[in-house]
Amino acid sequence: MPVIAPMPAPRTTGVPAQRQGADDAMTAGTTVDHLTETYRAHYRSLLGLAALLLDDTASCEDVVQEAFIRVHSARKRVREPEKTLAYLRQTVVNLSRSALRRRILGLKLLSKPMPDMASAEEGAYDQLERDALIKAMRGLQRRQREVLVLRYFADMTEAQVAETLGISLGSVKAYGSRGIAALRVAMEATA
């Protein structure tokens, strides 16, 4: 059976009772009551400070509320209650700076449309035209379709098309011109 040793008695330091009471007061920090009084007395002035740094009322109110919340959660670190207002002011300034940085970053990250980018309506019309073109291309003779695809979509020269398909340069020109004429008729019929 294991032996359990008794817990050692807490050591007392040689700090006089008066000094120990002062240290407890220092570690207690700002009280909730003092912070509440500060809130009531200085809310409007802190809101005015935020308004000088930010541009809209809702953001100012949010910043001031967040400042009070942060100082409340860190009130034990505010060792001198008379400095509570200074802590609040500095927190309002820091939070305002952060809000402005987030806005600027958000504006930088917004995707800007390219100047030659089509609108959604134009994109829909383009898609309809592509669908009509594909349907019209399917209605062409096989050789006409091959010549047009290689010539205009693969961006080959007439000589390259002739070599690829194994036909003469004159045949490429003939299939190409007949294919374009047939496409023109088919596209006008759909319009």
Report residue 45 CA to chain centroid gap.
32
User: How confident is the model at residue 85, as a pLDDT?
Assistant: 87
pLDDT at 27: 45
Give me the pLDDT at residue 123, please: 72
Ramachandran bin of 29, using left for φ above 0, alpha for ψ from -120 to 50, beta for the remaining angles: left
What pLDDT score does 159 carry?
Answer: 93
Half-sphere exposure of residue 67: CA atoms within 13 angstroms, side-chain side: 30
What is the model's pLDDT at position 8? 46
DSSP string of the chain? -PPPPPPPPPPPPS--HHHHHHHHHHHH-S-HHHHHHHHHHHHHHHHHHHHHH-S-HHHHHHHHHHHHHHHHHTGGG--SGGGHHHHHHHHHHHHHHHHHHHHHHHHHHSPPPPTT---HHHHHHHHHHHHHHHHHHHTS-HHHHHHHIIIIIS---HHHHHHHHT--HHHHHHHHHHHHHHHHHHHHHH-
**Mean pLDDT, each 10-residue run in order, the chain (191 residues):** 43 46 50 86 90 86 92 84 87 91 80 64 76 87 91 89 92 94 88 68
Model pLDDT, residue 66 = 93
Cβ neighbours of 10 (radius 10 Å): 5
What is the spatial distance between Cα 10 and Cα 65, in angstroms, rounded to a whole number?
Answer: 43
